Structure 1
Amino acid sequence: MTHLDIAEVARRAAVPASTLRFYEEKGLITPAGRRGLRRQYDPSVLERLALIALGRTAGFSLDEIAGMFAPDGRPRIDREVLTAKAAELDRRIRELGVLRDSLRHAAACPAPSHLECPTFRRLLDEATARGRRSPPGERPAASPPDRRAGRRTGREP
């Protein structure tokens, strides 16, 4: 059977090799072995990486994604979880639409100062209230992971 080395998998999946090593540490992927010092993967890892990418795009955590695979590596995706995530995305889309419209209003508002604009003030009040309601440990949606080379922060590279 032909295996792909880590560089080829990284190229085809469009992710850095460091991400592949991180996914391996998290138990999301498993190399088929090594050729010298280079990890070798079964070609099926590309499909698994595509599923992981889709899950990340949908907003699932890596731990949630890991739970979507059976012990034999096949996808085991709970349809109720997908329905709940879709509902969460619908809610977030509505919130983002309101935010977009408020920002556009604030950009064009004739008030002398943004702080004098009632719409902008309401936007500030909502942001403050939302910050108080965030569950402990929840990362803000706009906070990207630290992607600097070689830096390990416990988050995905």
Structure 2
Amino acid sequence: MARSTKKAAEPAKPSSLAVKEGEEDWTAAEVDEVVAELHDQREHSARIVESLDTEVSGLMRDSGDGAGQDQADVGSSSFERDHELTVLGLERDKLAQIDRALGRIADGTYGRCESCGEPIGKMRLMAFPRATLCMTCKQREERR
């Protein structure tokens, strides 16, 4: 399936995106690379969500009340359903993060930490384009 190269909204000028002191401004090619990566991730997650929605619907429909089933089968079905629901939730969260990153690129706020407002850093964003926090704020969040 071919991916459309058109973007929903034109991104802000690359030079307007935040960079850390000592970093070069974003280039159009770098922004295009990040946008392409986000679109690829979005396509992948959307396929997973679509597939899991179908699987979870089937698991929910077939779950019944367990009457006539071995306890191990009921437990296994419950475990599988819980696992699928967890993965589905994580993929839906990832889709929301991707959409948020694409929106931030479009409105020119991409690259700013949502907690402290300082630049996140190009290297971090190139490695993890959905990042919304600088390393300092992310470490602080993880310690809580």
TM-score, normalised relative to structure 1: 0.28
Higher relative contact order (CA 8 A, sep 6+): 2
- The answer to which structure has the higher helix fraction is 2
- The answer to which structure has the higher strand fraction is 1
The structure with more radius of gyration: 1
TM-score, normalised relative to structure 2: 0.30
